[in-house]
Amino acid sequence: MSGRREANKRDKHKRIIEAAHRLFREKGFDKTTTNEIAAAAGVGTGTVFTYAPTKDDLLIQVFHKEVAFSIDSALPEAMEQASLIDRTIAFLDFFLAYFEQDIPLARALMRQLGYVQSEAQRDLVLDLFRRASLCLVEILEDGQKTGEVSADVSLETAAATMFAIFHLNIGPYLSGMINRKEFDASLREGLKAFKRGL
């Protein structure tokens, strides 16, 4: 019986993530303390930090699965739109809808994206980028079939650029510097500009 350790660890990790998830949702990221999380998970304070090196890491771990799911399920909906731009915006909107459930939390999450602190965090963030990129590539591929996208563009680069445009706009929106309407307009304008080129 040498699997006892593994099983215990899995169980503890799960309890910590679940406790953190509940508390972040209930009280928000900032107002939740790591001690509370530990108490709610039934472990010592220090234990939390053996499963996540920082509180920010914990945030990513907690929401990675949900965000990944949200990205993946956004694509089918988006594909129903008529044009390339509309499909792209629908995809990003769907993704945004998940975020809008809790803007401060989304803000805390997005803030990490470009500026991760640990290896583990990096892997999870890269996974999210990759998923979003795959979806955008699929939208672009579809655009090639309808002739909206020229056959010889690099779809990966194009996807990255579209994501960059999204990313640049979402920060100010989540920080309350621009409202939803302004965000929508700016995003659409940016995507249209990208489509036509210089």
- Told to check if 105 binds DNA by CB under 7 A, we report no
174 contacts 99 by C-beta, under 8 angstroms: yes
- Told to check if 194 binds DNA by CB under 7 A, we report no
- Told to check if 43 binds DNA by CB under 7 A, we report yes
33 binds, options a copy of itself, DNA, none, Cβ within 5 to 8 A by partner type? DNA
Cα distance between residue 195 and residue 162, in whole Å = 9
Which range, of 41-49, 73-81, 88-96, 144-152, touches DNA by CB under 7 A? 41-49
- Residue 158-187 contact track with a copy of itself, rule CB under 8 A, x = bound: x-xx-xxx-xx-xxx-xx-x--------x-
Reading the block at residue 27, the tokens are: 């009280």
- Residue 67-106 contact track with a copy of itself, rule CB under 8 A, x = bound: -----------------x----------------------
143 contacts 93 by C-beta, under 8 angstroms: no
Nearest approach in angstroms of CB 78 to DNA is: 36
Of the candidates 17, 32, 62, 96, which one interacts with DNA according to CB under 7 A?
A: 32
Reading the block at residue 14, the tokens are: 């799960």
Which of residues 3 and 197 has its CB atom nearest to a copy of itself in the complex? 197
Which of residues 80 and 119 has its CB atom nearest to DNA in the complex? 119
Long-range contacts formed by 80-86: CB under 8 A, 24+ apart: 83/148, 84/139, 84/140, 84/142, 84/143, 84/146, 84/148, 84/149, 84/195, 85/188, 85/191, 85/192, 85/195
Cα distance between residue 42 and residue 59, in whole Å = 19
Our CA dihedral for 109, 112, 113, 116, rounded to 10 degrees, sits at: -140
- Told to check if 140 binds a copy of itself by CB under 8 A, we report yes
Cα distance between residue 78 and residue 139, in whole Å = 8
107 binds, options a copy of itself, DNA, none, Cβ within 5 to 8 A by partner type? a copy of itself
Residues at the interface with DNA (CB under 7 A): 1-5, 8-9, 12, 31-35, 43-47, 49-50, 53-56
